[in-house]
Amino acid sequence: AAPDPAVAGEAPLAKLWQAAKVPVFITLWYLFNIGYNISNKKALNALDLPWTIALIQLVGGLLYVFPLWLTGLRKAPKLSMDNVKTLTPVASMHLGTHIGAVISLGAGAVSFTHIVKAGEPVVSALLSAVVLKKYFSLPTYLSLIPVVAGVGLASAKELSFTWLGFAAAMLSNVSSACRGIYSKKTMTGKPLGENLTAANMYAVLTIIATVILTPLALAIEGPRIGPVWEAAMASGLSAQAVIKDVLMSAVYYYLYNEVAFLALEQVNPVTHAVANTIKRVVIIIAAIIAFGTPVTFLGSLGSGIAIFGVLLYSLAKQKFDK
């Protein structure tokens, strides 16, 4: 029998998509990340309400994922209360990672937050040794030296340095490292409900984090929302532009995390490490251009050293500590 022309036509398209999907996903991951960091910083510049903006960003993700579950486009996860209890500490650390980054982005330059967040492997290595009693090889530890040196140099020469920005970015690092370690220690091998794909796991953590953050955000910033909004409007800012930046930051936040899962499922750990390093460089450069952030030679040198150290760490860990 002659081959069906429709099926024959689909095969080249399928091959083309197979070849193109990794570059497409990584490109979208970068673009959504740039969009998030720029719209988030604009929103925080207009409204000094990091807890409230962080909450809106989490809620925005739920408005994206709930319709997918309700329409059956994505299978909804099925969890017991025991599953939720198991995931709540991880969700708390997920929240710490997010709120720390948002507070840091509001307190200083986007580029500075990402330089400090490049130091996460140092925190992760220390906590792995202390909590899990897991030790890495000497080359892996040596690769952390340029990370520490680079972050230190960049921080010392950062023109927009604030202790709040530094401390909040470190909170994000510690929370992220703890999330990874806690997950390994308590969740490995445990049954965690049905349909809990990587994307659905992220959605469930976002739901729990939203429940935790809502009363905190209202308690910390609830009384200030009205006065801060009025001050922003009195300064001549457009209500439409401010609302657009807040809402777009929520859209970009969830989309870049969603696309990150799609991209990372398709690549090996070394490609992931390189892509993640390039992503940070791209965000730093894009933010410096978008906001005209002044940079010093030594600050730029420190950033470059730190980011190169992160790449070395990722590659050394993959080679020596599988």
Which tops the pLDDT comparison, 120 or 187? Answer: 120
> What is the structure's pLDDT at 228?
96
Residue 12 in this model has a pLDDT that exceeds 80:
no
Rg of the chain over Cα atoms, rounded to whole angstroms, equals 21
* pLDDT average, residue stretch 162-188: 84
Average pLDDT, the chain: 86
pLDDT band (50, 70, 90) for residue 13: confident
pLDDT band (50, 70, 90) for residue 280: confident
Q: Helices in the chain by DSSP H: which ranges?
A: 5-46, 50-71, 81-107, 110-117, 120-127, 138-142, 144-156, 163-182, 198-221, 225-234, 239-264, 269-291, 297-320
> What is the structure's pLDDT at 272?
67
Closest CA to 312 of 156, 115, 118: 118
* pLDDT average, residue stretch 115-143: 85
> What is the structure's pLDDT at 144?
87
> What is the structure's pLDDT at 3?
54
The tens digit of pLDDT for each residue in 211-261 reads 999 999 999 999 999 999 999 999 999 999 999 999 999 999 988 888 887
> What is the structure's pLDDT at 2?
53
Closest CA to 106 of 33, 162, 50, 35: 50
Residue 159 in this model has a pLDDT that exceeds 90:
no
* pLDDT average, residue stretch 9-32: 79
∠ CA 238-210-161, nearest 5°, is: 60
> What is the structure's pLDDT at 268?
67
CA distances from 287 to 38, 109, 155, 282, 292 (A): 7, 8, 17, 9, 8
Residue 5 in this model has a pLDDT that exceeds 70:
no
